[in-house]
Amino acid sequence: MAQLKSQIALKELLKDYFTGMKSPIAWCTSAGPAEILRALGFEVYFPENHGALLGASRTAEKYIPRAHQEGYDGEICSYLTADIGAWLMKETPLTKIYGLKSIPKPDLIVFNTNQCREVAEWFNFFGREYDCPVVGIFPPRYLEEITQAEIDNVTDQLKGLVKVGEKIIGKSLDPAKLSETVRLSFEGSQLWKEVLETASHSPAPLTFFDGCILMAPIVVLRGTQICVDFYKEALVELKELVAQNEGAIPNEKVRIYWEGMPVWGRLRSLSEFFAENQTSVVASTYCNSWVFDHFDPDNPMESMAYAYTQIFINRGENTKLEMMKDIMGKFEVDGVVFHDSKTCFNNANSRFGLPKRVEEATGIDTVSFDGDLVDLRFFSEGQTRTKIETFIEQLKYNK
């Protein structure tokens, strides 16, 4: 499989991001209000990105047991256990990759429980370790419809964050700067959406596995011109591939939707495995989670409150089904693979009957497999391959 040129450019971009990080630094969850932090003048570091890196570099297995010794259970978020374990062992893959001595020291730590409760425990651990202020945004959870009262609730919490941030920075938030940051987030996110949607073409020019790499800027550089420029270029490359009818895999016969977290430590082998089976994983809830349609530079606080509350993981089961149906239709998938990620309870969506409801609503088959985002002890390669190979054969027969 040919590597996308954008993936090569990404390496440089991430190197600059990590090596150039200077105080004041704020830590933030991946779907947290990074725009406020940037507009205040913080550089923003994302521990989840570090968690994914610990998984992808397969160093997590060394660190997770250390977190268990500290009392962090084996069945809670393995981003958390890997990250805390690495901290306790005073190591980070950032040393080997970018020459950093340690992870960036925070001046402010911010989390949003729109994704799970674990982020609170994770970030509070580091608040204690660094003796650093921690601000939590606690939006209403598992929503179907979102009411104005709920948006007002989150908007008020964001205003509270601004006050804490201003105190640390020592100056007031510039409304024009916030508006501009939100505009850049909107533009970057819309370009990211366009990037993902090139895979609605058959053959798809990029797969979910490529998306897991290409998504880095929309997570860690959301709200910057760098992010916007990166996706503009990526989009040019992908549109060219579409025009040339060149697929990410040589012979696309089956199109799959991936629901749930990636298996970071098996990204490459799973990518090759699907390709060997003439199957393109063209869509996912995960990569789509950073598509934000509601950022509004004219109404930055409230639109941010809405954008970060309406995400898939924070919604009720009926809304999740509707969101999946929308993506499944757009990408014309033949089947859905649910990754039941053992330590990511909040983003393992096969446990409350959703696969069956998806099948009933769309007539499209699903399969679920057990695994984990980072902790490979929960992933059985042989069983998973057998399951997915059989599923693909079943889909080919149904076509």
List contacts with another protein (CB under 8 A): 365, 369-371, 378, 380, 382-384, 386-387, 389-391, 393-394, 397
Q: How far is the C-alpha of 292 from the C-alpha of 295, rounded, in Å?
A: 7
Q: How far apart are the first and last CA of the chain?
A: 25
Distance of CA 318 to the CA centre of its chain: 22
Q: How far is the C-alpha of 74 from the C-alpha of 286, rounded, in Å?
A: 23
Least Å distance between CB 269 and another protein?
13
Least Å distance between CB 312 and another protein?
24
Least Å distance between CB 353 and another protein?
12
Q: Is the dihedral of CA 385, 391, 394, 399 positive or negative?
A: negative
Residue 101 in contact with residue 300, Cβ under 8 Å?
A: no
Q: How far is the C-alpha of 374 from the C-alpha of 61, rounded, in Å?
A: 8
Least Å distance between CB 361 and another protein?
17
Q: Give 111 or 379: the residue with its C-beta nearer to another protein.
A: 379
Least Å distance between CB 252 and another protein?
21
Least Å distance between CB 341 and another protein?
12
Least Å distance between CB 187 and another protein?
41
Q: Give 217 or 371: the residue with its C-beta nearer to another protein.
A: 371
Structure tokens belonging to residue 372: 């984990």
Angle at alpha carbon of residue 346, lines to 351 and 213, rounded to 5°: 110
Q: Give 144 or 393: the residue with its C-beta nearer to another protein.
A: 393
- Count the neighbouring beta carbons within 10 Å of the beta carbon of residue 135: 23
Least Å distance between CB 67 and another protein?
22
Residue 166 in contact with residue 40, Cβ under 8 Å?
A: yes
58-62's contacts with Cβ under 8 Å and 24+ in sequence apart are 58/265, 58/376, 59/86, 59/91, 59/93, 60/85, 60/86, 60/265, 60/374, 60/375, 60/376, 61/375, 61/376, 61/377, 62/89
Q: Give 325 or 385: the residue with its C-beta nearer to another protein.
A: 385
Least Å distance between CB 368 and another protein?
9
Residue whose tokens read 């549109």: 239
Helix ranges, the chain (H)? 5-19, 34-40, 47-56, 60-69, 78-88, 93-98, 118-130, 148-169, 175-197, 208-214, 216-220, 225-243, 267-276, 285-288, 300-309, 317-331, 354-362, 381-398
Looking at residue 203, the DSSP 8-state letter turns out to be S
Q: Give 312 or 369: the residue with its C-beta nearer to another protein.
A: 369
Least Å distance between CB 281 and another protein?
19
Instruction: Find residue 279's DSSP bridge partners.
Output: 254
Structure tokens belonging to residue 319: 């809304």
Q: How far is the C-alpha of 59 from the C-alpha of 65, rounded, in Å?
A: 12
